[in-house]
Amino acid sequence: MAQIKGLLFDLDGVIVDTAKYHYLAWKELADELGITFTLEDNERLKGVSRDRSFEIILEIGNRVMDLEKRRELCEKKNNLYLTYINKMTEAEILPGVNLFLQDAKQKGFLLGLGSASKNSMLILEKLKLVQIFDVIIDGMKVTKAKPDPEVFTLGATLLKLNNQECLVFEDATAGIEAAHQGGMKAVGVGSKELLPEADINIKGFAGITMTDILEAIEMAV
């Protein structure tokens, strides 16, 4: 196995939980359209682009809509979402994440963010985490949604590393698949039941160091 030199993190559900804000914004839009949209339905939107997320909601409601109207409503959803994330603070960083990132940085690992979210920079600014990442790949820099590996392979390229030298941290099946398609190992942030394809699984970052991660990966090989 190639030596791990770079770490690539998804944002939502890994660094911070913005899924609740996505859900509230999508639900508000779905309610306006008379479409019943539940928390269970919201699981299908994990790791999926904004446009595809709205397509799924329309599918749930058996609705068809022209492209221009879809774009208009996607923009409306994003504005609803922005009102929520503009109120975010550092307190919303998930437990253990800050210490884990600092530990990894001190050990010489390069850090990258790989997220489909077009609001990644705004969220990282609110969390005061922009400076810790060596590269930030967001929805403004890629055109293909996960499970396409573009977001992670571009991250590796910008870190000046081979794909195999990068390790991905993901909480969504599409993200795990994207990592593997890019030739990278993937740490599933979530249970083995929810993310069976991950190379190893962690519940979260509290009390975890990169030494623990590397040892677990060695044992899993």
**181 CB-side CA count, 13 A:** 16
Residue 97 in contact with residue 123, Cβ under 8 Å?
A: no
Pairing mode of beta strands 166-170, 200-202: unpaired
Amino acid identity, position 125: E
Secondary structure (3-state) at 101: helix
Q: Which ranges constitute the DSSP H helices of the chain?
A: 19-32, 39-42, 50-60, 67-85, 97-106, 120-127, 150-158, 173-181, 210-220
Catalytic residues: 10, 12
Q: Which residue has the tokens 């390790």?
A: 167
Q: How far apart are CA 8 and CA 12, in angstroms?
A: 13
